[in-house]
Structure 1
Amino acid sequence: MRWLLGGGYIAVGILHFLFPEALIAITPNWVPAKPLVITLTGIAEAAGGVALLQPWSAALRRAGGIGLAIYAVCVFPANINHMLIDIGSAHPRLGWGYHIPRMLLQPVLIWLALWVSNDHKFDAA
């Protein structure tokens, strides 16, 4: 599961650089410097994914998981905005069948980032 999540975040991070206009379009209007934010969030996703996948440091994997969990909380307003834009349009492209599961999966992504980044060992103390 760690490999799937890490690889997914790396792929989505790269998409920030390939299709920034699509992400800028769903970013709430109150976010300043949208192109810069999209670039930084792409870097954050890719870096978090790399941190999850690297085999040398459990501490770095844990930091990556915590960072990705925080990231998922921070981008939730953009996910909501995306839903409102799409559902509010005359011809929704994705519809409720995409957006409702996406909203419900956000807490799962947060939990999963934390879970896969833990080494699952129990301390004696």
Structure 2
Amino acid sequence: MDAGLSELLTRLKRPLGYLMGGIYVIAGIMHFVAPESYVQIIPPYLPAPMALVYLSGVAEVALGLGMFHPRTRPYAAWGLIALLVAVFPANVYMATSGVVIEGASAPIRDPSPLARWGRLPMQVVLIAWAWWYTEPMDQT
């Protein structure tokens, strides 16, 4: 890797970790603000969809907050990886079922096929982003 790029990534790692944490905290809170929207994308073969929505919301908030402290950051990152793997079936279901999310705003209610299928490789990007934090950072 180019030395300049490596230096830039090193400088950005901490702020990007805080950004990641904030994104997950907000996403987790949304599970409690609009749980019905999330219930609609849970595959029908999974039990207790509302409980799963709340559980994943709690996990997102807790793990997002864990990204803010150097001692908990690696554990939170591993937890986020596990969470992203766990919610992958909901993204597959959303891509393959053509579900329309009642009560959501227009772009979210019925996303384009590109947006539906784009969520799947985005999970890989999010997992890679979290993986970057699985080792303690120097000078945290």
Letter in 1 for 2:42: T
Query: In the alignment, which residue of structure 2 is the partner of 1:52?
Result: 67
Query: In the alignment, which residue of structure 2 is the partner of 1:6?
Result: 21
Query: In the alignment, which residue of structure 2 is the partner of 1:84?
Result: 96
Partners of 1:25 and 1:82 in 2: how far apart?
9
Query: In the alignment, which residue of structure 2 is the partner of 1:22?
Result: 37
Query: In the alignment, which residue of structure 1 is the partner of 2:56?
Result: 41
Unaligned runs of 5+ in 1: none
Query: Taking structure 1 as reference, are residues 62 and 6 closer, same or farther at Cα in structure 2, changes over 3 Å only?
Result: same
Query: In the alignment, which residue of structure 2 is the partner of 1:69?
Result: 81
CA shift at 1:85, angstroms? 2.9
Q: TM-score normalised to the size of structure 1?
A: 0.83
Q: How large is the RMSD of aligned CA atoms in angstroms? A: 1.8
Query: Taking structure 1 as reference, are residues 53 and 98 closer, same or farther at Cα in structure 2, changes over 3 Å only?
Result: same
Partners of 2:44 and 2:125 in 1: how far apart?
26
CA shift at 1:96, angstroms? 1.9
Q: TM-score normalised to the size of structure 2?
A: 0.75
2:116 aligned residue (88, 99, 102): 99
Work out whether residues 40 and 99 of structure 2, in 8 Å CA contact, stay in contact via their aligned partners in 1: no
- 3-state SS in 2 of match to 1:80: helix
Identical-residue share of aligned pairs (%): 32
CA shift at 1:20, angstroms? 0.5
Partners of 1:14 and 1:31 in 2: how far apart?
22
